[in-house]
């Protein structure tokens, strides 16, 4: 039985009993622990089909019955239709029930993804169904960079819905960088007063000569953050907040110049960066800096509760050491601590926050540069420069999220044609992403257990609005979702033709959701950006 589900379920039964009917008499029967899914179904399917989906008794016919069964894996579920035209979703836990509800929505057709009914009063439903399903990886995510181009709160909430629709359960929220600080910290108001906007923006790649002279900025208030976190939690999505330190910190130093290497440059002359790339302006390795960021993280932990955000991302990537090499303060600290070099100084900096977060019941995660100079004990690694950092970390007993830029950076172009807007990096087609394998061959069985999963990373230097983000992210995020969820065969044996056929149905769902995805035939005329320079890299990406 083929129902064009994405991601593909583990098992689909094919017995020929009755199916499910959704009409004005349909009710929802929700067992304890399934309330978030009950509310979600009423809000989404109720709106899409104009139905009340009232609470029903256990014996009611034409019901959606939500249950839990601890014999199943927590995120696993079973979806079965019954002779009374009801459907039963049984999850191993609340999250499993929710993922089962996502499957139910797909089974009801593209109309289920609309916000108001297009066929008033019509009955809908599907034939007999018996699905057993559960995820391959516990970490299935997307990182969204809102620093380079700010994304308003409503667009962030929309992306949480899009993640949920694809059974993705991690939202990595890249909140700070050289080009803007995006989260209100009450004890440090200048982070948003001065650090959340820049006077202009480079249009295209950093080699482009085009500028958008409109000041760009924005930030999330603490109540905005609480709303985003609550919205994610209701969709069983973890939020991983990222405060990028000690590099990628020019916006921070602009707001509070004493945090920079004041003995090397005049930090009061800095402004929030309006260009792309890696700036030399990094944090000073001083007690002042440590205390400042402890204050930031204290407020952060209140906004991102442990239940939703067990991991806190501290960046740690692309931190040039030039200023530290020239700084008498940094050199004195290296000597005082008995460190070998500047790499070990960064490691000391990261380890400080690893201990600080661990003492408060959280886990530090950082980009794979945190391996340099010795990895902080207990830290997890986002392996972005390739597989190598993740392999080294996993073999050393550290948990890893595989997100190599050569494979799953969705800012990289989707086609080699001349019409791709602002083409960046390697060509990564829908098929390339579908054939991505998060667990590298040759990894020992013990090390493989440390691969938590995978995520796609969305860096927004050349994505100035939601439509551009949609174009770069979709449809490739659907392929990544299947890689993360489904037990697929080896890369070369995957049935991409079958996936592509299922995508024909999935495009109709994305249309109903209003997603500005890249069409299989290429960009639509208004999706092109002629004359705006990118940085395409030719050839196949290396496996590193």
pLDDT 10s digits, 48-61: 999 999 999 878 89
Mean pLDDT (the chain, rounded): 96
d(CA 136, CA 123): 35
Whether residue 122 has pLDDT greater than 80: no
Classify residue 316 by its DSSP letter. -
pLDDT value, residue 14: 72
Q: Poorest-confidence range of 9-23, 87-101, 201-215, 218-232?
A: 9-23
What is the mean predicted confidence (pLDDT) over 109-137?
92
**DSSP secondary structure string, 142-188?**
EEEE-SSS---HHHHHHHHHHHHHTT--EEEEE-EETTEE-B--TT-
Strand partners, 424: 535
352 is catalytic: no
DSSP helix/strand/coil, 431:
helix
Instruction: Kindly tell me the burial class for residue 359, based on how many C-beta atoms sit within 10 Å of its own C-beta (0-12, 13-18, 19 or more).
Output: exposed
Point out the catalytic residue in the list 38, 133, 145, 177.
177
Q: Please, which residues have CB within 8 angstroms of residue 289's CB and are 6 or more apart in sequence?
A: 246, 259, 283
Minimal CA–CA distance to 348: which of 319, 370, 326? 370
177 is catalytic: yes
Find how far residue 37's CA is from the centre of its chain: 21
Q: How would residue 2 be classed by pLDDT, with cut points 50, 70 and 90? A: low
Q: Give the predicted TM-score (pTM) of the model.
A: 0.98
Q: Quick: pLDDT tens for 130-152.
A: 999 999 999 999 999 999 999 99
What is the mean predicted confidence (pLDDT) over 115-124?
85
What is the mean predicted confidence (pLDDT) over 9-33?
90
Whether residue 171 has pLDDT greater than 90: yes
Q: How would residue 425 be classed by pLDDT, with cut points 50, 70 and 90? A: very high
Whether residue 13 has pLDDT greater than 60: yes
Whether residue 42 has pLDDT greater than 90: yes
pLDDT value, residue 16: 63
Classify residue 324 by its DSSP letter. H
Which range scores top for mean pLDDT: 7-16, 363-372, 373-382?
363-372
What is the mean predicted confidence (pLDDT) over 494-506?
98
What is the mean predicted confidence (pLDDT) over 210-220?
98
Q: Please, which residues have CB within 8 angstroms of residue 421's CB and are 6 or more apart in sequence?
A: 462, 468, 471, 523, 527, 528, 529, 532, 534
Two tokens at 524?
């639509």
The proportion of the chain whose per-residue pLDDT surpasses 70, expressed as a percent, equals 99
Point out the catalytic residue in the list 111, 227, 318, 372.
318
Point out the catalytic residue in the list 205, 236, 248, 398.
248
Distance set, CA 110 to CA 504, 505, 506 (Å): 11, 8, 8
pLDDT value, residue 1: 41
Q: Whose structure tokens read 């013990």?
A: 446
What is the mean predicted confidence (pLDDT) over 492-514?
98
Whether residue 437 has pLDDT greater than 90: yes
Q: Quick: pLDDT tens for 67-113.
A: 999 999 999 999 999 999 999 999 999 999 999 999 999 999 999 99
pLDDT value, residue 34: 98
pLDDT value, residue 15: 61
Edge-to-edge strand order for the sheet containing 130-133?
11-12, 130-133, 77-81, 87-91, 63-68, 27-30
Q: Quick: pLDDT tens for 242-273.
A: 999 999 999 999 999 999 999 999 999 999 99
Strand partners, 201: 212
Q: Quick: pLDDT tens for 272-290.
A: 999 999 999 999 999 999 9
Q: Quick: pLDDT tens for 298-327.
A: 999 999 999 999 999 999 999 999 999 999
470 is catalytic: no
Higher pLDDT, 196 or 378: 196
What is the mean predicted confidence (pLDDT) over 465-475?
98
What is the mean predicted confidence (pLDDT) over 112-120?
93
pLDDT value, residue 541: 95
């Amino acid at each position: 039985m083929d129902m064009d589900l994405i991601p593909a379920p583990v098992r689909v039964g094919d017995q020929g009993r009755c199916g499910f009917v959704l009409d004005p008499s349909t009710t929802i029967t929700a067992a304890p622990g399934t309330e978030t899914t009950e509310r979600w179904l009423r809000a989404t399917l109720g709106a899409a089909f104009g139905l009340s989906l009232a609470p029903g008794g256990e014996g009611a016919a034409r019901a959606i019955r939500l249950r839990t069964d601890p014999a199943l894996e927590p995120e696993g579920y079973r979806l079965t239709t019954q002779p009374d035209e009801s459907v039963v979703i049984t999850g191993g836990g609340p999250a499993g029930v929710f993922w089962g509800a996502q499957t139910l929505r797909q089974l009801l057709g593209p109309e289920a993804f609309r916000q108001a009914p297009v066929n008033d009063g019509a009955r809908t439903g599907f034939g007999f169904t018996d699905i057993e399903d559960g995820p391959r990886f516990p970490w299935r995510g997307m990182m969204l960079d809102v620093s380079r181009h700010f994304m308003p709160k409503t667009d962030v909430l929309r992306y949480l819905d899009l993640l949920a629709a694809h059974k993705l359960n991690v939202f990595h929220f890249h909140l700070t960088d050289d080009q803007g600080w995006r989260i209100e910290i009450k004890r440090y108001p200048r982070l948003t007063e001065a650090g959340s906007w820049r006077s202009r923006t480079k249009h295209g790649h950093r080699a482009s000569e085009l500028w958008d002279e409109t000041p760009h900025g924005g930030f999330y208030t603490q109540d905005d953050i609480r709303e985003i976190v609550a919205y994610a939690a209701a969709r069983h999505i973890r939020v991983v907040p990222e405060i990028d330190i000690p590099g990628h910190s020019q916006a921070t130093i602009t707001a509070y110049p004493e945090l920079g290497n004041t003995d090397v440059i005049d930090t009061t002359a800095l402004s929030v960066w309006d260009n792309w790339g890696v700036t030399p302006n990094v944090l000073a390795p001083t007690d002042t800096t440590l205390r400042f960021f402890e204050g930031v993280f204290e407020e952060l932990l209140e906004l991102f509760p442990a239940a939703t955000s067990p991991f806190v991302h501290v960046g740690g990537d692309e931190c040039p050491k030039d200023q530290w090499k020239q700084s008498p303060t940094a050199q004195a600290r290296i000597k005082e601590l008995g460190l070998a070099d500047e790499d070990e100084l960064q490691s000391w900096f990261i380890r400080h926050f690893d201990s600080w977060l661990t003492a408060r019941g959280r886990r530090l995660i950082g980009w794979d540069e945190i391996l340099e100079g010795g990895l902080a004990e207990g830290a997890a690694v986002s392996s972005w420069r390739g597989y190598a950092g993740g392999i080294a970390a996993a073999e050393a007993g550290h948990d890893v999220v595989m997100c190599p830029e050569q494979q799953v950076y969705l800012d990289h172009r989707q086609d080699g044609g001349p019409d791709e807007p602002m083409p960046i990096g390697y060509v990564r087609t829908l098929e390339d992403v579908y054939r991505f394998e998060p667990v590298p061959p040759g990894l020992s069985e013990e090390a493989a257990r440390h691969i938590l999963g995978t995520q796609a990373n969305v860096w927004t230097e050349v994505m100035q609005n939601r439509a551009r983000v949609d174009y770069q992210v979709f449809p490739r995020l659907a392929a990544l979702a299947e890689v993360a969820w489904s037990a697929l065969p080896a890369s070369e044996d995957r049935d991409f033709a079958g996936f592509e056929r299922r995508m024909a149905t999935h495009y109709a769902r994305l249309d109903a959701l209003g997603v500005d995805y890249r069409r299989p035939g290429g960009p639509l005329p208004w999706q092109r950006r002629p004359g705006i320079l990118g940085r395409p890299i030719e050839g196949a990406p290396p496996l590193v």
